[in-house]
Amino acid sequence: MRVERLAAFTDGVVAIIITIMVLELRVPHSGELHALLAAAPILGAYVLSYINVGLYWNNHHHLIQTAQNVDGRGLWANLFLLFWMSLIPFVIRWIDEAGFVAAPVAAYGVVLGMAAVGYHWLQYAIIEANGGATSTLAEALGRDRKGMWSMIGYVLAVFAAFIEPLVAISLYVALAAVWLIPDRRIERRLTQTR
């Protein structure tokens, strides 16, 4: 399959996910400021989720730039990633309905963590389909400590949610912040190969 087709499909699904997330937000029933303040926690969850979806989309874009080929493994890995990302609006809604309590906060971490697993799987599939250890992506990522630590962080956050949900939420925010710092490994490698 052409890499462009995979990128276009992913762009479409991500656009739908973002649209569903915003449509799930409830508008306050009052025009008073206190009504908006009461919605602030779920608006915060939406902002964090929007950032996470944006981070995956942005990094997916860089990832795809390194690929000349995508095979069946890559297609399934991409679908796996998108499946978990598509559950983000569901867990936000659950948090909205139930509150910032253990199970929905932990489910949020499971969804983000499984998306991280899907992204890691997609990286591996692209590496294998494009020359293995000598591929542009493999050389750019190296051991990918940042990706591995992120997955470990999600596991820790899921367990933390059952002890103190605010600790888990803090970990989710910290993990997003780590990825907000631009990861130039792929860009540097692409610049070197041109």
- Give 96-112 pLDDT, tens digit per residue: 999 999 999 999 999 99
Question: Which residue has better confidence, 162 or 190?
Answer: 162
Distance CA 162, CA 164 (A): 6
Burial of 74 (0-12, 13-18, 19+ CB in 10 A): buried
Give me the domain span that covers residue 84: 3-193
Q: Please report the pLDDT score of residue 183 as a whole number.
A: 65
In the chain, how many domains are there? 1
Q: Please report the pLDDT score of residue 34 as a whole number.
A: 83
Mean pLDDT score of the chain, rounded to an integer? 90
pLDDT in tens, 13-72: 999 999 999 988 888 888 888 888 888 888 999 999 999 999 999 999 988 988 888 999
Question: Which residue has better confidence, 187 or 161?
Answer: 161
| Residue 8 binned pLDDT confidence (cut-offs 50, 70, 90) | very high
**Does the structure show a pLDDT above 80 at 191?**
no
| Residue 177 binned pLDDT confidence (cut-offs 50, 70, 90) | very high
**Does the structure show a pLDDT above 60 at 194?**
no
19: helix, strand or coil: helix
Q: Please report the pLDDT score of residue 182 as a whole number.
A: 65
**Mean per-residue pLDDT for 61-87?**
93
147: helix, strand or coil: helix
**Mean per-residue pLDDT for 81-102?**
95
Smallest CA-to-CA distance from 62 within 184, 176, 180 is with 184
Spatial CB neighbours of 147, under 8 Å, sequence gap ≥ 6: 116, 119, 120, 123, 141
**Does the structure show a pLDDT above 80 at 122?**
yes
